[in-house]
Amino acid sequence: MATFNNTDLAAFKDVWVFCEQRQGKLMPTDFELISEGRKLADELGVKLCGLLLGDNVEGLAKELGGYGADEVIVCESPLLNVYTTDAYAKVICDVIEERKPEAFLIGATNIGRDLGPRCAARLHTGLCADCTHLDVDMDIYKDFLRESSTLAPEKVDGMKTAKVLGEDHDVSRDLKMTRPAFGGHLMATIICPRFRPTMATVRPGVMKKAPFDQAKADACKITKPVVKLTEDDIDTEVVEVVKAAKKLVDLIGADFIVSVGRGISKDVEGGIKLAEELAAELGGVVGGSRATIDSGWLSADHQVGQTGKTVHPKVYVALGISGAIQHKAGMQDSECIIAVNKNETAPIFEIADYGICGDLFKVAPMLTEAIRAAKAAK
């Protein structure tokens, strides 16, 4: 194996994306991250590679090419059939040490959140968890310096390097990883200036999927390195894979979401029913603020926001939701936001395209009826 010196930054090249599959099916985050990785790789002038692990999964690789991967590295072994942290971390670290990518992105799914830190610790590099934005340009530094330093603006404009931990450092190749910090009250942009690969886990649903391109899928190269993995490398045994007993709501893939907040408290069941009726009429699903999840009115898979799901549906209806910053973080990129709140100063109205100041128990049935009538008229 090639020697692995993770401080020799120049030896690291290319952007990689961990492409998670479960039971032979790629995850939606794979396509989001490949699409985002494509943009980063183009800015850096390097290749974008998908990293796919499993048993007999090569057939999935070309699809990743259709979303922008130049190459997919396929690591196959019967021991990778079902996910275990030991096996996946070993194979990923082996291939990273061999080929040295400069950035490695992982979806912040349950598996990604488990795998990312394990790999980062083994590779002795930095990982920024749960990112909502990635970038490689220097503008963000320059904005920061213009606002917070005494440097002359001309000096900031012409900068190519910045002082990082007391040393001049070429920041133009650093991945800038942005995530909410301090309870979501500010966004922190983090770099990993001294080690490679820079690692990030990225929130599902945040990055936009590019359109599929068959020509790119056909051109995508597939590489299959030798996988050195034995049972001795794995300390865990998967006894049984239990699928979710209950079908979870698909907020991330929904075009229409009707979310309820604490405003339904005077009649919780009635409020949820009104939201379900409106959602059914729109062909959508029901979401909720954290207040409704913490109160046990809706299950956790319905939660929208910083610690819930990030959504960008065509229409987001907020019924009795105040619009706390942590809720907005998960829905403010919706194409059209309709807010119903009886308090005209509720912050949700600041980002609403249509704001209705009124009692949700009166307004929601009127919206449902209006949609029903419009559909019947067609």
Ligand X SMILES: Cc1cc2nc3c(=O)[nH]c(=O)nc-3n(C[C@H](O)[C@H](O)[C@H](O)COP(=O)(O)OP(=O)(O)OC[C@H]3O[C@@H](n4cnc5c(N)ncnc54)[C@H](O)[C@@H]3O)c2cc1C
User: CB under 6 A: which stretch of 84-92, 119-127, 135-143, 255-263 binds ligand X?
Assistant: 255-263
**Which of residues 192 and 321 has its CB atom nearest to ligand X in the complex?**
321
Contact between 291 and ligand X by CB under 6 A: the answer reads yes
d(CA 122, CA 89): 8
**Which of residues 113 and 342 has its CB atom nearest to ligand X in the complex?**
342
Q: Which of residues 182-201 bind ligand X (CB under 6 A)?
A: 183-184
d(CA 98, CA 195): 16
Q: The tokens of 133 are what?
A: 């934005």
Q: Work out whether strand 256-260 and strand 133-135 pair parallel, antiparallel, or are unpaired.
A: unpaired
Contact between 310 and ligand X by CB under 6 A: the answer reads no
Give the nearest distance from C-beta 338 to ligand X in angstroms.
13
Give the nearest distance from C-beta 187 to ligand X in angstroms.
14
- Alpha carbon 171 to chain centroid, angstroms: 24
- Tokens 């291939």, residue located: 95
Give the nearest distance from C-beta 357 to ligand X in angstroms.
9
Give the nearest distance from C-beta 267 to ligand X in angstroms.
9
Contact between 109 and ligand X by CB under 6 A: the answer reads no
User: CB under 6 A: which stretch of 66-74, 98-106, 169-177, 356-364 binds ligand X?
Assistant: 356-364
Contact between 129 and ligand X by CB under 6 A: the answer reads no
Q: Torsions phi, psi of 305, nearest 5?
A: 135, -170
**Which of residues 97 and 276 has its CB atom nearest to ligand X in the complex?**
276
**Which of residues 87 and 304 has its CB atom nearest to ligand X in the complex?**
304
Residue with smallest beta-carbon separation from ligand X: 305
d(CA 154, CA 71): 41
H-run or E-run covering 354:
strand 354-357
Helix ranges restricted to H, 68-166: 85-99, 110-123, 139-148, 153-157
**Which of residues 15 and 298 has its CB atom nearest to ligand X in the complex?**
298
**Which of residues 101 and 330 has its CB atom nearest to ligand X in the complex?**
330
Give the nearest distance from C-beta 203 to ligand X in angstroms.
11
**Is residue 326 a contact partner of residue 349, using CB atoms and an 8 Å limit?**
no
Residue 111's identity, in one-letter code, is I
Contact between 295 and ligand X by CB under 6 A: the answer reads no
Among 60, 175, 321, 339, binds ligand X (CB under 6 A): 321
* Residue from 4, 3, 9 nearest 198 by CA: 9
Contact between 206 and ligand X by CB under 6 A: the answer reads no
Q: The tokens of 326 are what?
A: 């942590």
Among 173, 176, 290, 312, binds ligand X (CB under 6 A): 290
Contact between 361 and ligand X by CB under 6 A: the answer reads yes
Contact between 327 and ligand X by CB under 6 A: the answer reads yes
User: CB under 6 A: which stretch of 6-14, 133-141, 205-213, 302-310 binds ligand X?
Assistant: 302-310
SS3 of 287, please?
A: strand
d(CA 121, CA 304): 31
Q: The tokens of 250 are what?
A: 């698909």
**Which of residues 145 and 293 has its CB atom nearest to ligand X in the complex?**
293
Contact between 305 and ligand X by CB under 6 A: the answer reads yes
* Residue from 259, 239, 240 nearest 249 by CA: 259
Give the nearest distance from C-beta 201 to ligand X in angstroms.
17
**Is residue 98 a contact partner of residue 2, using CB atoms and an 8 Å limit?**
yes
Contact between 341 and ligand X by CB under 6 A: the answer reads yes
User: Which residues lie closer than 8 Å to 102 by C-beta, 6 or more apart?
Assistant: 9, 12, 13, 14, 15, 44, 46, 173, 175, 196, 197, 198
Contact between 287 and ligand X by CB under 6 A: the answer reads no
User: CB under 6 A: which stretch of 34-42, 144-152, 187-195, 336-344 binds ligand X?
Assistant: 336-344
Q: Work out whether strand 336-341 and strand 315-319 pair parallel, antiparallel, or are unpaired.
A: parallel
**Is residue 361 a contact partner of residue 271, using CB atoms and an 8 Å limit?**
yes
Q: Residues interacting with ligand X, by CB under 6 A?
A: 183-184, 261-263, 289-291, 303, 305-308, 320-322, 324, 326-327, 330, 340-343, 346, 359-361
